[in-house]
Amino acid sequence: MTSSTSRQFRPLPVPSVKVGGYWGHWQDAVCDHTARILLDRCVEARMLEQIDPDVPSPGIVIPILNWLGTTQMFWDSDLGKSIETIAYSLYRKPNAALEARADAIIDMYEKLQAPDGYLNSFFQRIKPEWQWTNLRDFHELYCAGHMIEGAVAYYQATGKRKFLDVMCRMADHCVKKFGRGPGQVRGYCGHEEIELALVKLARVTGRQDYMDLAKFFVDERGQTPNFFVEEARAHGRDPKGVQKSTLEYNQSHLPVREQAKVVGHAVRAMYLYAAMADLATEYNDDSLTAALETLWADLTRKQMYITGGIGPAAANEGFTDHYDLPNDSAYAETCASVGLVFWASRMLGRGPDRLYADILEQALYNGAITGLSLDGKTFFYDNPLESSGKHHRWTWHPCPCCPPNIARLVASLGSYIYQVADDEIAVHLFAESEARVELANGARFTLRQETDYPWSGDISIAIDPEVPARFAVSLRVPAWAREARLMVNGQPVDPGAVGAEGYIRIEREWTKGDSLAMTLPLEPRLLRAHPAVRQDAGRVAIMRGPLVYCLEGADNGAGLNSVLLRHGLGAAQTATIPDLRGAIAIDLPVLRESGESWGEALYAEKAPETEPGQARLVPYHLWDNRAPGEMLVWLRQAAE
Amino acid sequence: MTSSTSRQFRPLPVPSVKVGGYWGHWQDAVCDHTARILLDRCVEARMLEQIDPDVPSPGIVIPILNWLGTTQMFWDSDLGKSIETIAYSLYRKPNAALEARADAIIDMYEKLQAPDGYLNSFFQRIKPEWQWTNLRDFHELYCAGHMIEGAVAYYQATGKRKFLDVMCRMADHCVKKFGRGPGQVRGYCGHEEIELALVKLARVTGRQDYMDLAKFFVDERGQTPNFFVEEARAHGRDPKGVQKSTLEYNQSHLPVREQAKVVGHAVRAMYLYAAMADLATEYNDDSLTAALETLWADLTRKQMYITGGIGPAAANEGFTDHYDLPNDSAYAETCASVGLVFWASRMLGRGPDRLYADILEQALYNGAITGLSLDGKTFFYDNPLESSGKHHRWTWHPCPCCPPNIARLVASLGSYIYQVADDEIAVHLFAESEARVELANGARFTLRQETDYPWSGDISIAIDPEVPARFAVSLRVPAWAREARLMVNGQPVDPGAVGAEGYIRIEREWTKGDSLAMTLPLEPRLLRAHPAVRQDAGRVAIMRGPLVYCLEGADNGAGLNSVLLRHGLGAAQTATIPDLRGAIAIDLPVLRESGESWGEALYAEKAPETEPGQARLVPYHLWDNRAPGEMLVWLRQAAE
């Protein structure tokens, strides 16, 4: 229970952490390819024509679906996330051409902004008469949120204030428009996002009114009478016409502190909970934290794929019933797992706890990064756990929310590895990196992790304070690492030192040359799902460290459901796959059912014959980076 | 191989066969409830307003979807099928009120018919300017087909010629309009149906030009240049805009004799193949039969659910890839299995062969009748083989094609039990019934089957000729009945007498009092699917006789995927279920995985604990007739 702590952990800023190794390669892919590709695709989609006041408006490019509008309404969010990605990428690799393109877009936005601060290219250039008429469906505040996040990142990365100032003016506009005062609107956005963006903006500007507006949006959500129902009536729309016919879809069915089941559109839900967690930290709000703990248990114990994918259904891009986790039709949107990383990271704001950090890692390595190809050029939107061979990475999508979302997460990955409180640094992720840290208690030091994680379980940490300093280092011991070993300056630490929250906390005076060495056991593990998950019944999944593994056609040919694992993983061997940037594969003896010996009958009173063979498993997040083919996570086992 | 026979088997007319027992109960449900419900629902949907020239047109009731039109376009087909159902039901139970309602509808159609014979209420009353502008999507000939079938049935049932004459005038109109002559249209319908209807009409009227028009439609289909592509161009539409973007969707991608894979919309495909089989019989056309044999093998060896359900995908209401048979999302439309019964029955036109009759039975008992509730009042449209408890029978559907389709099949079931050639009667189905037969060779006799099939495997057949007569009786021995026993007048028949086509053929002079007795073994059988069917991998299904069984929540509670069959069915016991009209249940010892002992974790490195228990299986086609809940056909087996 973290409910009653008043400690506050916040991420290290992106520029304070230099990332190498495994994540460094991903960041290089984003810097070298994805960041530019995002802008190119936005241009091809005609987004710049919409935002540039100096060229004719393109009008409606993507058709309007009755009350629900058009995805063109959230083009500003795509540009906001793209600028955010570019900003983070500039830390790692300065790129004058890319920066100039971002500057030009920012100039357009500055020129477009209304005198009262309002800024939204769709509702200024295409449908001005619809401004603020449909908070539920029209994504106006959502777009502002992503532009704010982009503005904050761009300011931090380049020191240029223009975009930040533009978005502060929009935020000021919102502070005036929304609230409980006379003439103000007691509403909130149908797609959460503005809330967590306002927290970021408040933190970088020090403006409490932005933080309070975020809190207002969260506190108002789901109050009675329901704002969206009232808004629909006020504009002569059927209040039942809400998308997917439910208030659950956008989590406005109950006040947030009374919500106990994770429902509706998955990305919306994650962004809401992330903001709630931020506010719980900022306001030390135990009532928010209590609700979040309930929702966290609901999600991670009843509604999450083993990959950290969430939201099984395409119909509502979101949640269905407890334990309903179909594999081949899994929606499990990349954005939703990115959102889960956001939420998990913010749950650590009240103190280190592997209940959150383990899931952060699981969702990051299996749910989120899966959305990006190794070369940073192609993307997954939905992430099934089984494919008959027809699911492939694409270059763009009609709703291009995922590519910039995973890209900005990768480019800002440094801020997820560490968090700091006044006198403590928490190491949540194992990743080759160097952090420059200054704690509130005055301690200044460099912390350097050397590791080939997740391929190797050996992690060396060097702590170099400028002058000897007292502070605590908390190091996560993942729940799956039951025989982890830790040494401080060469001396073994008692495994019993792992606290209830799954961290080893070492508080001491640190001096130059101090070191920690951790070894995590990476033997493959055989996992089963809760018996209530009907889709996984009788099947097993293999994990190694934080990584979920899968069979892929590229290694194993077709007919992956004919592969039967032998019991036990004792004969498992590992191998390095150069084609997958040095990833570790797992090779196993298996049985395979033979279609040839079965004959022509579709159904028969006999069991298929089996023959012995070998199978290779590869990390799930790297699938479809080689030849196209089948893929399978949940495997059958031989009866033997 | 039946390709080279010149024998022609045709069904006995519906009035020649009186049905009792199992099917008699279904027919009673249709007579007592379904027939009237169909008309009531058509009235509620405002169909009569559309066809009655004396009342104002209702206009567009169901919205138009661009080129594809609206389902309102095929309201005439719903009325046609409803009248057909009523007609057949009148054989069993005269019903003056229902007959009067049908007469009134027929009067409206007569009044509506154009002087040139054209008849289609939508294209006369709602969109006259669209007449004959879009054969591909607008269902004009399809509607004519169903009205022809209705007219034939109504004429046969009541002796009233009015509807038949009306539809002959429409057929005459089509004979003029379509063909290869100057000024004629070389086209065909995007939804096959008119072809098999014209065969029926030709048979009842003796009009060869109707038969030849059916042959023309079949022969033209898929010829180059493609008619639908040309038609779209001629009307300024995008030829790629065809529904689901493929010519495969309506089987016009290739000339029918070159088609080797069953593709596209399932009902369309079945109606086409049914007509092809009729024409193969009527014209002794071996080239059609050869194509049909290839398509039959493709469907039944690679694309058919064990229930005889076909067309797994909702997206195209049809076929996907070989061996792709998802259970919980199975579309398997009731109409498609009804269509498979039509096709299978017509494949028997060239001689008895259990290759077809076994599938006829399988689709009838598991794919088709499942669409009707025991009381004849509610319906299934799609027929999954697994349900988490949310799939239920409904009272009506936006596309109400299935209720009248299964109803007319049930009401005309007598014509599927027997077929006759000049000197032979084939007994394809085991069903309590009495047939009055007159063969072309002059033999006149009554054949009476007494049986409680499918609950019992004992079948007694009494053959009573008026005077001793020589003819053959061919009796199907299902492929699953490996130890069937047959006696003629109390004398055992050598099991080796079963011919290559799976029928025992007894040719002799029959005299009054002659009898056959057959016993089919009904021990439950454990079936597995071809290893290439990934969705059934490692699972088993249980059949008893022709019936597929399932677990249902009503008997077994929730969590059916936690149920593990013990190996072997030796301990199986049967019981009668009064709630399901005396159906036979199968009770089995099982293991059940325990969710309680598993704990809270969603994924863990352990196997679930199991505890012994009992499970009850019921016939799949009777599911969801009691309390709502889960359902499962493909079951897990314990590893023991």
Which DSSP letter does residue A628 get?
A: -
Q: Does A174 touch chain B (CB under 8 A)?
A: no
**pLDDT band at A1, cuts 50/70/90?**
very low
Distance from CA of A301 to the nearest CA of B (A): 5
Q: Are residues B154 and B252 in the same domain?
A: yes
Q: Are residues A406 and A437 in the same domain?
A: no
What local confidence, expressed as pLDDT, does residue A482 receive? 85
CA A116-A118-A119 angle, to 5 degrees, is: 140
Q: Are residues A591 and A611 in the same domain?
A: yes
User: What confidence tens digit (pLDDT) does each residue in A318-359 have?
Assistant: 999 999 999 999 999 999 999 999 999 999 999 999 999 999
pTM score of the predicted model: 0.94
CATH code at B460? 2.60.420
User: What confidence tens digit (pLDDT) does each residue in A613-634 have?
Assistant: 999 999 999 999 999 999 999 9
**pLDDT band at B2, cuts 50/70/90?**
very low
Mean pLDDT in residue range A2-24: 84
Q: Are residues A462 and A535 in the same domain?
A: no
Q: Which chain B residues are closer than 8 Å to A598 by Cβ?
A: 530-531
Q: Which of A297, A326, A607 sits opposite B528 (nearest CB)?
A: A607
Chosen from B482, B603, B609, B632 to mutate, greatest number of chain A CBs within 10 A: B603
Closest by CA to B332, choosing from B25, B540, B633, B28, is B633
Which position among B401, B424, B432, B630 bears the catalytic label? B401
Who's near A85: CB < 8 A, 6+ residues apart?
A30, A34, A35, A38, A404, A407, A408, A411
Q: Which chain A residues are closer than 8 Å to B300 by Cβ?
A: 602
What local confidence, expressed as pLDDT, does residue A396 receive? 74
Element (H or E) spanning B79, and its range?
Answer: helix B75-92
Looking at chain A, the whole-number percentage of residues with pLDDT higher than 90 is 91
Q: Do A531 and B321 touch (CB under 8 A)?
A: no
What local confidence, expressed as pLDDT, does residue B243 receive? 55
Nearest CA in chain B to A304: B602
Compute the Cα dihedral for A18, A24, A26, A32 and give only its sign. Answer: positive
Q: Which of B301, B532, B602 sits opposite A300 (nearest CB)?
A: B602
Asked which of B418, B434, B465 is the last residue of a domain, the reply is: B418
Helical ranges in A129-284 per DSSP H = 140-158, 162-177, 194-205, 208-220, 227-234, 266-282
What local confidence, expressed as pLDDT, does residue B151 receive? 98
Q: Does A541 touch chain B (CB under 8 A)?
A: yes
Mean pLDDT in residue range B221-242: 88
A402: number of Cβ within 10 Å: 25
Mean pLDDT in residue range B178-199: 97
Number of domains in chain A: 3
With contact defined as beta carbons under 8 Å apart, do B557 and B586 qualify? no
The reply to whether A8 falls in a domain is: no
Give the bridge partners for B592, in sequence order.
B563, B611
Q: HEC states along A134-162?
A: CCCCCCHHHHHHHHHHHHHHHHHHHCCCH
pLDDT beyond 70 at A245: no
Summary mean pLDDT of chain A: 95
Closest by CA to A185, choosing from A196, A200, A198, A175, is A175
Closest by CA to A105, choosing from A39, A169, A197, is A39
Q: Does B603 touch chain A (CB under 8 A)?
A: yes
Q: Which of B324, B562, B603 sits opposite A537 (nearest CB)?
A: B562
Looking at chain B, the whole-number percentage of residues with pLDDT higher than 70 is 97
Element (H or E) spanning B288, and its range?
Answer: helix B286-302
Q: Are residues B513 and B622 in the same domain?
A: no
Q: Are residues B145 and B14 in the same domain?
A: yes
Q: Does B525 touch chain A (CB under 8 A)?
A: yes
The reply to whether A6 falls in a domain is: no
Which DSSP letter does residue A16 get?
A: G
Q: Do A528 and B594 touch (CB under 8 A)?
A: no
Question: A–B: how many Cβ contacts below 8 A?
Answer: 114
Torsion angle of alpha carbons B117, B122, B123, B124, nearest 10°? 60
Nearest CA in chain A to B482: A605
Q: Which of B530, B595, B600 sits opposite A602 (nearest CB)?
A: B530
Distance from CA of B517 to the nearest CA of A (A): 27
With contact defined as beta carbons under 8 Å apart, do A531 and B608 qualify? yes
Chosen from A66, A530, A640 to mutate, greatest number of chain B CBs within 10 A: A530
Cα-flanking dihedrals φ and ψ of residue A438, to 5°? -135, 115
Q: Does B321 touch chain A (CB under 8 A)?
A: yes
The reply to whether A123 falls in a domain is: yes
Q: Which chain A residues are closer than 8 Å to B533 by Cβ?
A: 602
Distance from CA of A599 to the nearest CA of B (A): 8
Mean pLDDT in residue range A517-529: 96
Element (H or E) spanning A575, and its range?
Answer: strand A573-577
The reply to whether B598 falls in a domain is: yes
Q: Which chain A residues are closer than 8 Å to B598 by Cβ?
A: 530-531
Q: Are residues B460 and B607 in the same domain?
A: no
Q: Are residues B84 and B152 in the same domain?
A: yes
What local confidence, expressed as pLDDT, does residue A4 receive? 42
What local confidence, expressed as pLDDT, does residue A3 receive? 39
Q: Do A604 and B527 touch (CB under 8 A)?
A: yes
Distance from CA of A387 to the nearest CA of B (A): 11
Rounded to whole angstroms, the Cα distance separating A87 from A98 reads 9
Q: Which chain B residues are closer than 8 Å to A296 by Cβ?
A: none
Range of the domain at A475: 419-519
User: What confidence tens digit (pLDDT) does each residue in A367-386 have?
Assistant: 999 999 999 999 999 999 99
SS3 state at A601: coil
Q: Does A294 touch chain B (CB under 8 A)?
A: no
Asked which of A385, A412, A439 is the last residue of a domain, the reply is: A412
User: What confidence tens digit (pLDDT) does each residue in A54-93 have?
Assistant: 999 999 998 887 667 888 999 999 999 999 999 999 999 9
Mean pLDDT in residue range B531-544: 97
Q: Which chain B residues are closer than 8 Å to A321 by Cβ?
A: 388
Q: Do A528 and B601 touch (CB under 8 A)?
A: no
User: What confidence tens digit (pLDDT) does each residue in A534-581 have?
Assistant: 999 999 999 999 999 999 999 999 999 999 999 789 899 999 999 999
Distance from CA of A561 to the nearest CA of B (A): 5
Rounded to whole angstroms, the Cα distance separating B134 from B141 reads 11
Nearest CA in chain A to B297: A600
Q: Which of B304, B531, B595 sits opposite A531 (nearest CB)?
A: B595
CATH code at A445? 2.60.40
Distance from CA of A602 to the nearest CA of B (A): 5
pLDDT beyond 70 at B434: yes
Q: Are residues B414 and B426 in the same domain?
A: no
Q: Which of A595, A601, A605 sits opposite B525 (nearest CB)?
A: A605
Q: Are residues A275 and A145 in the same domain?
A: yes
Q: Which of A526, A598, A605 sits opposite B531 (nearest CB)?
A: A598
Q: Does B605 touch chain A (CB under 8 A)?
A: yes
The reply to whether B2 falls in a domain is: no
Q: Are residues A376 and A495 in the same domain?
A: no
pLDDT beyond 70 at A399: no
Q: Which of A329, A537, A639 sits opposite B329 (nearest CB)?
A: A329
Distance from CA of B596 to the nearest CA of A (A): 9
Q: Do B530 and A601 touch (CB under 8 A)?
A: yes
Which one is predicted more confidently, A239 or B52?
Answer: B52
Q: Are residues B228 and B93 in the same domain?
A: yes
pLDDT beyond 70 at A127: yes
- Token pair for B128: 């006259």
User: What confidence tens digit (pLDDT) does each residue in B59-97 have?
Assistant: 999 888 766 788 899 999 999 999 999 999 999 999 999
Asked which of B467, B493, B519 is the last residue of a domain, the reply is: B519
With contact defined as beta carbons under 8 Å apart, do B199 and B282 qualify? yes
- Cα–Cα distances (Å) from B548 to A345, B307, B425, B543, B635, in that order, read 51, 6, 28, 4, 12
Q: Which chain B residues are closer than 8 Å to A367 by Cβ?
A: none
Verify whether residue B434 is a known catalytic residue: no
The reply to whether B570 falls in a domain is: yes
Q: Does A268 touch chain B (CB under 8 A)?
A: no
Written as one letter, the residue type at A195 is: E
Q: Do B301 and A525 touch (CB under 8 A)?
A: no
Looking at chain A, the whole-number percentage of residues with pLDDT higher than 70 is 97
User: What confidence tens digit (pLDDT) does each residue in B565-578 have?
Assistant: 997 898 999 999 99
User: What confidence tens digit (pLDDT) does each residue in B285-340 have?
Assistant: 999 999 999 999 999 999 999 999 999 999 999 999 999 999 999 999 999 999 99
The reply to whether A2 falls in a domain is: no
The reply to whether A1 falls in a domain is: no
Which position among B317, B501, B552, B593 bears the catalytic label? B317
Q: Does A444 touch chain B (CB under 8 A)?
A: no
Q: Which chain A residues are closer than 8 Å to B526 by Cβ?
A: 605
Q: Does B559 touch chain A (CB under 8 A)?
A: yes
Distance from CA of A538 to the nearest CA of B (A): 8
Q: Which of A528, A531, A608 sits opposite B562 (nearest CB)?
A: A531
